[in-house]
Amino acid sequence: MSVRVERSQTPSQRAEVTVNANYAGPQDEVIAVVRRKLSARNMHLDRSDLEEAYCQAWHGVAFEIERGGEVQNLTGMLVDITWKRAVDAYRGERPSQYADVDVDQQVLEIDIDEQPGS
């Protein structure tokens, strides 16, 4: 999903319009992807923690737009930021079981729609 906004708007207005128009759309998909990435590492968070990480990701998107940046892949950016904030939340909840996770490591994820018989 790419973001399209009016160029006549200020960066703050573009950020606000983008958030208001797109916040709910990718939420379930982003949270599901992040939940699978966590699960692959035997890490588990409540839905509320993932929703908080998703909200923080939107702050990152808004900041990027406000500073004049272009968001080419909104869903990808949301997944990336949500993933990193979710790992932070996991680490914060379990300081004695610190999860040493390379958040930039690519993990093979199976696309269920691409599987034979789907």
Render pLDDT for 56-73 as a digit per residue (tens, 0 to 9). Answer: 999 998 998 888 888 888
Please state the pTM of the whole predicted model: 0.71
Count Cβ atoms below 10 Å from residue 35 Cβ, excluding itself. 17
Handedness of CA 68, 79, 20, 53 (dihedral sign): negative
Tell which wins on pLDDT, 21 or 31.
Answer: 31
Give the residue carrying structure tokens 């729609």.
113
